[in-house]
Structure 1
Amino acid sequence: MTTPVGEDDLTAWVDDRLAAERRSVVERYLADHPEIAARLRQQQDQRSALRSLFAPVASEPLPATMRIEAIAASRRRARPAWFQAVAAALLLAVGFGGGWGVRTRTLPPQAGIGALAREAGYSYRVYASDTQRPAEMGAGEKQQLVSWASRRIGSKVAVPDLAAAGYHFAGGRLVATPHGPALLLLYDGAARVRLAVLSRPMDIDKDADMVSTRDGDVQQVSWADHGIGFSVVAPGVTSGLQTIAAAIRDQAATT
């Protein structure tokens, strides 16, 4: 019984690798399938054309650098395996160090005045825009707020008077931060402008000069004095925020 002709037979026929007996079987098959025979003859023509095209290159002598002796000598002159391992370790360390450096430059500050300013900005966006209940205790509950917040924060707090700057106290609340509770005071000014003051104890930057920052649509002035940090937040179009911050600092110093 004759084995059916498969693709392996056809490929071998194109490459002229079939034994005589098998070749006769394939050729009888191709005689019965002229469309396959035409495809295989086209492949044969392409094979012959490629062979003719690269014949000059194939007849050239093998380059000295590709001879087995040259390759073996090159491997013997190569750096030892331990050198490659050390180089790889150094590259890994440099990459990790560079990545960590980028991380520390791109992540937001985790402590100090920078963290205080970020927390104040978050709290301002949440509560200052609340038209229903921005504060837990209103302006008429100032003394209760001071007593309650002082106990929770663990430090005496006060409500600055900003009437001279055109702002009146609207109320306050405690807010959570990664560094413990903080006091958020809200003030209302002309043209429905709302200002906030966030204060809390500081683990680091316990005494820090005033720093002005801007985060999108808000501006801030932050500082710390005797272990208590302050950050004043207002809309970006607000003028005189540095003067307001200085007034709060001066009042806190006399409390």
Structure 2
Amino acid sequence: MPTTGSSLALRLSALIDGEVDDAERRELERLVENDDEARRLYQRLKAGGAAGTQAFDAMLSDPLPLALVRQMRQGTDQPSATPERVATPAATAKPKRVKLWPRFVAGGVGLVLIGGSTGFLIGRTMNDEMPADILAPARSWRDDIVDAYRIHTRQQGHLVEMTATEPDRLVAWLSQGAGLSLTLPTIKDRPLTLEGGRLIVAEGKPVATLLYRTEDGDVIALCLMKAPLGTPDDNARTLSETMRDNLAMLSWNAGGVTYAVLGPSSDPKLRALAEEIADQM
């Protein structure tokens, strides 16, 4: 099915409105999670809908114009005395009393339709006028892990919080800090040096991070965090690949834990390393 352009916008709008079946909902949620462009479009549509609802609520809270109130009263109040009859030619039509309530009902329906469509239009055409906090790009735990990786790999001599000189102590500290059971993987396919570990935060959750050094001096990170509630385990260990500029991340879920292997996108052995680790978890 289409994953770009106006077709994607319509599908994401239907997702926001709850008008998709379970299969398509899961497909779109995976797309939003793994695809940067789809996530930005979803955030814009969602923000546009919120802005349209706020504008419609503000419209309903405005007082009625005084002239309209007077017209309503004139249309509903009965005169106390019978007005004097005035003779009129037969061809002259008798004035009809205006019924206002049907107009108000029709106007209310029109306002509801306008309010519903305003969100979609604002999301596509009025981004520049929205507050910056509403239009901020959607972030995920992947973005937080990538940011932490970039910061810590630039710190010469401070790559890790705890070194790997005492592996058992390192594992116990990371396991307790992240609230999960961690074991050191056995890596056979390539020479890697375990430098140590760090505790970082992604989407407000603690993440246990093991940091390795390759033979070329590059840093490979293995991150573990508790998976969000309701995340199904992937028994096939299907790796999801995400690119962030010059970095690549391969992630999967197993046993209520989300795993991620992060390193330079130019590393041709990164996927094989992630597959080797996934087979042990």
Bin for the TM-score computed over the shorter chain: 0.5 to 0.7
Kept in 1: contact 2:227–2:258 (CA 8 A): yes
Q: Following TM superposition, by how much is the alpha carbon of 1:247 offset from its aligned partner in structure 2, in angstroms? A: 0.9
> How many residue pairs get matched?
173
TM-score w.r.t. length of structure 1:
0.59
Kept in 2: contact 1:206–1:229 (CA 8 A): no
Q: 1:151 aligns with which of 168, 176, 179?
A: 176
Corresponding residue of 1:235: 264
Q: 1:178 aligns with which of 203, 211, 216?
A: 203
> Percent of aligned positions with the same letter in both sequences?
20
* Bigger CA radius of gyration: 1
Which blocks of at least 5 consecutive residues in structure 2 are unaligned?
1-97, 128-133
Q: Following TM superposition, by how much is the alpha carbon of 1:125 offset from its aligned partner in structure 2, in angstroms? A: 1.1
Q: C-alpha distance in 2, partners of 1:206/1:152?
A: 23
The Cα offsets for residues 134-190 of structure 1, whole Å up to 9 and x where unpaired, read as 101112132111111212222210222335323221110111223421111111112
| Matches for 1:83-232 after TM superposition, within 5 Å | 83-96=106-119, 107-108=137-138, 115-204=140-229, 205-208=231-234, 209-232=238-261
Q: Which region of structure 1 is more displaced relative to structure 2, 216-225 or 144-153?
A: 144-153
Please state whether the residue corresponding to 2:166 is helix, strand or coil. helix
Q: C-alpha distance in 1, partners of 2:156/2:273?
A: 24
Taking a change above 3 Å as real, the CA distance of residues 232 and 141 of structure 1, as seen in their structure-2 partners, is same
Kept in 2: contact 1:161–1:168 (CA 8 A): no
Kept in 2: contact 1:120–1:231 (CA 8 A): no
Q: Following TM superposition, by how much is the alpha carbon of 1:246 offset from its aligned partner in structure 2, in angstroms? A: 0.8
Question: Going by fraction, where is helix more abundant, 1 or 2?
Answer: 1
TM-score w.r.t. length of structure 2:
0.54
Q: Following TM superposition, by how much is the alpha carbon of 1:229 offset from its aligned partner in structure 2, in angstroms? A: 0.6
Please state whether the residue corresponding to 1:213 is helix, strand or coil. strand
Q: Following TM superposition, by how much is the alpha carbon of 1:198 offset from its aligned partner in structure 2, in angstroms? A: 1.0
Taking a change above 3 Å as real, the CA distance of residues 224 and 100 of structure 1, as seen in their structure-2 partners, is farther
Taking a change above 3 Å as real, the CA distance of residues 99 and 184 of structure 1, as seen in their structure-2 partners, is farther
Q: Which region of structure 1 is more displaced relative to structure 2, 155-164 or 135-144?
A: 155-164
Q: C-alpha distance in 1, partners of 2:192/2:121?
A: 47
Q: C-alpha distance in 2, partners of 1:143/1:178?
A: 28
Which blocks of at least 5 consecutive residues in structure 1 are unaligned?
1-74, 110-114
Corresponding residue of 1:250: 279
